Structure 1
Amino acid sequence: MSRAETAPPAAEDAEAESGRRDYKVPAAEKALDILEFMAGCREDVTQTEISAALGRSIHEVYRIIQLLEGRGYLTRTKSDRYRLSLKLFELAHMHPPVNRLIDTALPVMRALAGRTDQSCHLVVLRGSTVLIVLQVESPLPMRYSVALGSHFPILETSSGAVLLAFMPPDERDALLDRLLAEGEAGVERAAVEERLSAILDKGFEMRASLAVDGCTNITLPIRDHMGATIAALTVPYLPQKQARLSRAAVFEEARAAALEISRGLGAAEAPARNRAVRVEEPARPRRRGSP
């Protein structure tokens, strides 16, 4: 009788899973390496620069680059330099949950920007960062703008803090362990936990931006039909003469918008403890970082 015939089902499953993890697909690995490298490039790059950055020969990457260009993932300039196209972003937006979130939030956020004269953006978690999936700009000439598709460190953003705070406790602790292990400079666990506890108690975060002096981040959770927080709505409040509403009034508008988006996704009403809130002065930032 063979070893496979005598192995218990759990052992067979473990072996199969291990085999899947160890299985190598060189061409796919090269393609992913190129895409991940290109995603971090701020300028167009040549094939030589790609091969040098990945530690691979020109011969190894040439055919993969041609394939990615042919499938629309890379764009080549007249000077034979490459840049990442928007195809990956388009594919991400075809994913049903993200697509539904954006479709539900867009009209609400447009109305919010129009009423408040403030920009707003929608953020989701992606690994150890937050990702901007929707941005609506203020109608005023002077405005706060975040590039669509941008990534920021979780602990340097109000959006990230709100998303982290409303995660299930076990998942939150595991992610926080990982973030702190990655060496976030100047961040102490006790301070982070105090911040998250305050967010859970109030149901939102409003604090001075770590990136832009004079800007106050107003951030609220977006919940789905299961009650899970799947995104964060942030209004980076900029006081200026042309703006019609005070910060407190903008907060009320943002809170109503977050509830409307959540209801559009099937969420029930907000927990009772989060319904009556008092707007206070935002905490002063201790260091500079991302918005």
Structure 2
Amino acid sequence: MSLPEVEREDEAGGGDARRDYKVPAAEKALDILEFMAARNEDVTQTEISVGLGRSIHEIYRVIQLLEGRGYLIRTRADRYRLSLKLFELAHMHPPVNRLVDAALPVMRTLVGETDQSCHLVVLRGSTVLVVLQVDSPLPMRYSVALGSHFPVLETSSGAVLLSALPPAERQAVIAAALAEGEAGATPDEIAARLAAIGEAGYEMRASLAVEGCINISVPIRDHVGSTVAALTVPYVAQKRARFDRASVLASARAAANDISRALGAPEGEGRNRVIRAESP
């Protein structure tokens, strides 16, 4: 069978057929990168082999290729670690790059006006991904690690993004969260929470993950009015902080409007649509 015939069969079979098409070498490379991304320590080829349930023979050449292309770094002890190349590629991606470029100066101003850290989050499947973090100028602060991802309903950022999804997509994400036991609430409670966000245009509530922290999260919109990210201030009360929650919320909303305008957003309410991190 010729290559064109294979391609025609895939096209005739639709999206599911294309997703089921196997590319073993690519799958091994992605397995290795995902395995390495979840580890803080350097690992040997044997540890990669055991962790993936694949033989050394299966992964040896793939590891060599990833090292040669700069995705893996080998130490003197013949152990491997993930390089920063994936991080660099992610920030070369035009939508993320444009979002970060527009948000960074505004967020730097925001931390000075609120004495609080802030971060920028995008939707990634049924999780949220932190793409930008700016720390509070105070010596004591709360912040999240750049590149971290969290269950969508565990965070106010995720709830804000979820509230802007079309109903069918929203229900699919909620169903996945419920099936994985990560929703932390009933469907009725989730619906009420998202409706409240839609009505208010933001969420301000006690963090579900960190005691003593109040999440203040507002949407960021693009040139067609679609929600592309959420700007979140994890508000932590302390003696040196000069601003209360109400003033921080006002500053966060103003900052979100500034970032949205920099992205070309029209004035007024945004559309009920979220651009996911995987979108081109």
Q: Which residue of the partner structure matches residue 287 of structure 1?
A: none
Structure 1 vs Structure 2 CA RMSD? 1.9
Q: Which residue of the partner structure matches residue 46 of structure 1?
A: 44
| Residue 193 (structure 2) pairs with residue 195 (structure 1) | yes
1:23 is displaced (CA, Å) by 3.1
Q: Which residue of the partner structure matches residue 275 of structure 2?
A: none
Label 1:118 to 1:52 Cα distance change in 2 as closer, same or farther (>3 A): same
Q: Which residue of the partner structure matches residue 80 of structure 1?
A: 78
| Residue 98 (structure 2) pairs with residue 100 (structure 1) | yes
Query: Is the Cα contact below 8 Å between 1:122 and 1:133 reproduced in 2?
Result: yes
Alignment map for 1:1-291 (pairs within 5 Å): 13-15=11-13, 20-184=18-182, 186-271=184-269
Map Cα deviations across residues 86-140 of structure 1 (whole Å, 9 max, x no partner). Answer: 1111111111111100000000000001111110000001111100000000011
How many Å separate the matches in 2 of 1:154 and 1:32? Answer: 23
**Worse-superposed segment, 21-30 or 205-214:** 21-30
How many Å separate the matches in 2 of 1:124 and 1:34? Answer: 25
Aligned length: 263
How many Å separate the matches in 2 of 1:18 and 1:224? Answer: 31
Label 1:255 to 1:45 Cα distance change in 2 as closer, same or farther (>3 A): same
Which residue identity is paired with 2:264?
G
Label 1:140 to 1:178 Cα distance change in 2 as closer, same or farther (>3 A): same
SS of the residue aligned with 2:225? Answer: coil
Identity percentage of aligned residues: 72
Map Cα deviations across residues 189-248 of structure 1 (whole Å, 9 max, x no partner). Answer: 111111101100100000111222221110000011111111000001111111111111
How many Å separate the matches in 2 of 1:147 and 1:63? Answer: 33
Query: Is the Cα contact below 8 Å between 1:259 and 1:270 reproduced in 2?
Result: no
How many Å separate the matches in 2 of 1:22 and 1:144? Answer: 43
Label 1:16 to 1:113 Cα distance change in 2 as closer, same or farther (>3 A): closer
SS of the residue aligned with 1:232? Answer: strand
How many Å separate the matches in 2 of 1:129 and 1:95? Answer: 19
Which residue identity is paired with 1:187?
A
Q: TM-score, normalised by structure 1?
A: 0.85
Q: TM-score, normalised by structure 2?
A: 0.89
How many Å separate the matches in 2 of 1:155 and 1:27? Answer: 35
Q: Which runs of 5+ in 2 are unaligned?
A: 1-7, 271-280
Query: Is the Cα contact below 8 Å between 1:69 and 1:75 reproduced in 2?
Result: yes
Structure possessing the higher radius of gyration over alpha carbons: 1
Query: Is the Cα contact below 8 Å between 1:222 and 1:233 reproduced in 2?
Result: yes
Q: Which runs of 5+ in 1 are unaligned?
A: 1-9, 273-291
How many Å separate the matches in 1 of 2:147 and 2:10? Answer: 41
Label 1:181 to 1:14 Cα distance change in 2 as closer, same or farther (>3 A): farther
SS of the residue aligned with 1:211? Answer: coil
Q: Which residue of the partner structure matches residue 276 of structure 1?
A: none
Label 1:13 to 1:25 Cα distance change in 2 as closer, same or farther (>3 A): closer
**Worse-superposed segment, 164-173 or 148-157:** 164-173
1:47 is displaced (CA, Å) by 0.7
